[in-house]
Chain A
């Protein structure tokens, strides 16, 4: 906790206070922090524990249970490739493999320059446009292996990490 900046303490404190009257506020708090900061490290979990009385181990358990939460910073662009049944039979495994090859990372990892995170997603409910992927929420329909290079280049040209 000692490692959190003053502004982080203030902002996270504000997020926690939003859910003061909730019986089970943890998921909401974690979701807001994940959205705001892109990750939820142990110091932040300790801070949440102090404020809410929920044991750190329990918070850690929730953070590591749901793939939406992350312990390490995510890249500027989060590429989520759907590996749900429909996308899978339409070849999304080859698509994610191509991303992994071009970015030199495995699914779940972030590139060293902090630009890209590659995530494997289960069904995102876009089976009609399989294989599908999302980048920071933008949906790419019917992606083929041949499209991957172009997509990567497009985001690289948009600029580096903050």
Chain B
């Protein structure tokens, strides 16, 4: 790529042609404040006007997020005119913003507050009317509060780039403009899959998960027997909340923290991930043998399940009937565990720590309520767990490494760990399917073809004379490609893994925010690499495990021997499997 010579603050630099001033300045070591620009132009509406700089010869100030550099350009960030303009832009945003910062869940990660600080913007500089407010807290997953929205458009762009669905859009005009699902409906009355990708990119508190910390507090106060389980992706990111480098696995410290938070049992959802593989692999081989509906598609991701129910209601028989791992674990805790320990299941409170906002709604699905009891009682995101840890005065970084409780539901294999990244469920299933079909373990263990961050991956496997063609997709935009093939009867696959969020759970809507301005010790390109880094944390834990195939989990074997019988048995179906229902996208209110 051609280079151009530019000057910033009087210093000469050579940068790539075609870059925006904002990106070029970043490479030269300057951080121009900005709110709407995000991730290499994923969002670049130039709407916030916070990145204004002076360019010699240009008419007026320019928005550096969209203005490309050219030969000989002289850029001045710190001129009194540009500094004052940036401050005024932020002051204008503050004038139409709900300023209850100390109660805001985004506090500490708020980009508006950050730019207000660095531009020196004053609250109350401009006063006047405020745009009418909508607060949507109908779903168990996401709260949308327009009083904190700065109309940057990042959420609108992310919903389209990740899923193609574009649930959020700009509505109305001028001062009345809001960002909302069509008709300013609730997420719950629109075909929103509740994945939380919009929450991850929102610069302010306009989009946040709905906190369930209070429910955990209440259960504790009521003297419930508290059992906690953690999804694999949580350990790959939780450390970020405490200043640790992205990609640092913190399994041991996370367990130590949960124990100090007063949970009676600290288990790993990976146990149930192994259980899921036993059920799912059996279901798949059954479908192959009995000419059942193929391809079979995984059902671990509630975001994906929501999408399927809204957009492919006619294809739901392709979904595996397996519950997602944390629901399985909840069901087993309230049956087998309760029985073994002699505890009344009604007195057990199961908390899932998940990288996901959709899991909150999943836990409340009608299908998961039996005798007035849910499999899982509360779902906290990775971010909420970090808040709980901070609130409790625990110095996370200094914690010792501890082990999960090892009794009856404690063991897990490497196959369970990699569930947290795209391709992981597929790889885990293939390890076990290989064993089922050949009677021996796959030598390499790894199935490289299904690893990596591409939106759609595929692999062709020949196992003991049986040809299995598989595909892996993450992000609904990619799922749509595979689903349309199925609808047209042209799908060449036997088995498909689909995850709601791009990259899988490690990039879930409940994971720590990746905002470069708050991560001074990370590389400049951290937005391009954080998913791989988190995935690597899981693959490395897989490699450290003595057992790496789900069928070798001795406690899962014991669970079948003592309680469930065999995979896909009647009892297993009752506890571990579920049903799906087509849903109307815009139900009449």
Contact = CB atoms under 8 A, between A and B. Distances in A.
A119 interface: no
Contacts of B169: 55-58, 60-61
B183 A46 contact: no
B166 A64 contact: no
A106 to B, nearest CB: 16
A47 to B, nearest CB: 11
B182 A45 contact: yes
A56 B172 contact: no
A65 B172 contact: yes
B585 A46 contact: yes
B584 interface: yes
A88 B165 CA distance: 44
B9 to A, nearest CB: 40
Contacts of B166: 54-58
B173 A56 contact: no
B163 to A, nearest CB: 10
A61 B160 contact: no
Given A55-B167, A56-B182, A58-B166, A64 B173 contact: yes
A78 interface: no
B506 to A, nearest CB: 27
B518 interface: no
Contact of A61 (B171, B585, B588): B171
A57 B584 contact: no
Interface bin, chain B: 20 to 34
Most buried by A among B160, B168, B180, B586: B586
A42 interface: yes
A2 B183 contact: no
Interface in A36-73: 42-43, 45-46, 54-61, 64-65
A56 B171 contact: no
Tell me if B's interface is mostly helix, strand, loop or mixed.
mixed
B182 A59 contact: yes
Contact of B171 (A54, A55, A60): A60
B586 A46 contact: yes
Nearest to B160: A55
Given A57-B167, A64-B173, A2 B584 contact: yes
A45 B168 CA distance: 14
Interface in B559-589: 584-586, 588
Nearest to B480: A53
Contacts of B510: none
B475 interface: no
Nearest to A67: B173
Interface bin, chain A: 10 to 19
B114 interface: no
Interface in B144-183: 156, 159-160, 165-173, 180-183
A42 B171 contact: no
Contacts of B168: 57
A61 B167 contact: no
B194 to A, nearest CB: 16
Contacts of B165: 55
Contacts of A56: 166, 169, 182, 585-586
A54 B165 CA distance: 9
B172 A57 contact: no
Contacts of A58: 166, 169
B259 to A, nearest CB: 44
A69 to B, nearest CB: 11
A133 to B, nearest CB: 23
A48 B222 CA distance: 52
A34 B393 CA distance: 60
Nearest to B584: A2
Interface string B306-317: 000000000000
Contacts of B170: 61, 65
Nearest to B183: A42
A62 to B, nearest CB: 9
B172 A64 contact: yes
A12 to B, nearest CB: 16
B182 A60 contact: yes
Nearest to A45: B182
A26 to B, nearest CB: 12
A64 B172 CA distance: 5
A54 B169 CA distance: 11
B190 to A, nearest CB: 8
Nearest to A55: B166
Nearest to B311: A50
A55 B157 CA distance: 12
Contacts of A3: 588
Contacts of A59: 182
Interface in A3-31: 3
Most buried by A among B159, B165, B170, B584: B170
A44 to B, nearest CB: 11
Contacts of A42: 182-183, 586
B470 to A, nearest CB: 28
B522 to A, nearest CB: 33
A65 B173 contact: yes
Nearest to B165: A55
Interface in B25-74: none
The 5 closest A-B pairs by CB, nearest first: A55-B166, A57-B169, A60-B182, A61-B169, A56-B182
5 contacts: A43-B586, A55-B169, A56-B166, A57-B181, A58-B169
Interface of A: 1-3, 42-43, 45-46, 54-61, 64-65
Given A55-B165, A56-B169, A61-B171, 11 more contacts: A42-B182, A45-B182, A55-B169, A56-B585, A57-B156, A57-B168, A57-B180, A59-B182, A61-B170, A64-B173, A65-B172
Interface of B: 156, 159-160, 165-173, 180-183, 584-586, 588
